[in-house]
Amino acid sequence: MASTGPQKIPGASQSYFFGTGRYSGSAMEVNCGVVHTTEGMSLTSYSSGAVAPNVTGVPDIENRKIRWYQHFDVDESARALMNKSGGVETNTANVFQIELVGTCDDSKKTSWSGKRAGVDYLHWPTAPDWALAEVAWLVRWLNANHGIPLTCVSNWLAYGKDSRRPGVTPASYGANPARMSMSAWRSFKGWCGHQHVPENDHGDPGSLNFARVIAIAKGGQTPATKEDDMQPVDVWAYKGTKEKADAYAYLRGTNGAVRDLAKKIDAQTAVISKLAQLVGSDVDTAQVVAAVQQAIADAVVKVDVDITSNPTQES
């Protein structure tokens, strides 16, 4: 089967690419995606590719971005799903697979081995919007370039062990209520989690808010902490490149220029108001000129002070 569309993800590191080696996969045309969590805090070797997904996302929490590492081409089967003999195909069923470094285990919601959630690692069911937006960028790119629908399953169960092991409810492991039948999987298009795939027993990525990811991918904006942080979704086309940073800087500069223009308009308005006050009064030309010159000088000083004391903030 011939692959179509770009096969390399923009900005993704190819330093852990396994598609040309021992574990290279089969050609396919992706039409669905599966999300995993690594249940670890760093990029893994995946046994040199033997159990790798198509791409891994490593959160850079300090800089509020995800660093992507590509392991197989987009239209190449990965190896992160179990595939039993008989039944249905899993890895080769036109599925693109994402691993997100971090955890979905609610017992690690705030801390994990002395590390702090949101500082040292991400607990994905409570991931901040910036992280979901970074995932949404990839989801949107895959939709635009490979047609994976911007839809997802609705039932994302909280991370839990096999239902045969008491004390965990609901159970996302094993034969959970959200796992698809073989026939449902054969016709599935869109996005789901490891916990939804038949012939598998893992329960990741838990109760990840993938509906929010889809909403952002469709064009919603993430909450902004300040005016200059407003980032239109179209800027994500520059993900992972210098051009993306340049685009953000351009937007910030534009916002600053608009504010400066508004201040200058206010200054001109002050001048006009001063002139209006003199209309009809018994003054000579010299007085009018002097008054206008003074109003302009006062306005320029005000603009300079405003611009200097309110510089455009960098994110």
Q: What are the structural domains of the chain? A: 32-223 (3.40.80), 228-315 (no CATH)
Q: How far is CA 83 from CA 128, 129, 178, 199, in A?
A: 33, 33, 18, 6
Of 110-114, 133-137, 295-299, 303-307, the poorest mean pLDDT is in: 303-307
User: Do the Cβ atoms of 271 and 296 come closer than 8 Å?
Assistant: yes
Looking at residues 23-52, what average pLDDT do you find? 97
Q: How confident is the model at residue 160 (pLDDT cuts 50, 70, 90)?
A: confident
Q: Where are the alpha helices (DSSP H) in 91-193?
A: 129-146, 182-186
Token code pair at residue 159: 């991370």
Of 48-52, 219-223, 273-277, the poorest mean pLDDT is in: 219-223
CB neighbour list of residue 232: distance below 8 Å, 6 or more residues apart: 221, 251
Cα 255 from chain centroid?
A: 23
Amino acid type, 281: S
Among candidate residues 91, 115, 110, the one with its CA nearest the CA of residue 42: 115
Average pLDDT over the chain reads 81
Measured CA to CA, the distance from residue 268 to residue 293 in angstroms comes to: 12
Q: What is the DSSP string of 294-307?
A: HHHHHHHHHHHHHH
Q: How confident is the model at residue 57 (pLDDT cuts 50, 70, 90)?
A: very high
Q: How confident is the model at residue 237 (pLDDT cuts 50, 70, 90)?
A: very low
- Pairing type for strands 32-37 and 111-112 reads unpaired
pTM for the whole thing?
0.70
In the beta sheet, which residues pair with residue 32? 95, 190
DSSP E strands, the chain: 32-37, 55-60, 65-70, 95-100, 111-112, 115-116, 190-193
Q: What is the DSSP string of 218-276?
A: TTPPPPPSSGGG---GGGGGGTTSHHHHHHHHHHHHHHHHHHHHHHHHHHHHHHHHHHH
Amino acid type, 253: G
- Give residue 147's pLDDT: 98
Read off φ and ψ for residue 34, nearest 5 degrees: -125, 135
- Give residue 4's pLDDT: 87
pLDDT digits (tens, 9 = 90+) for 260-281: 655 665 666 666 666 656 655 5
End-to-end Cα separation, the chain, in angstroms: 45
Token code pair at residue 88: 């249905």
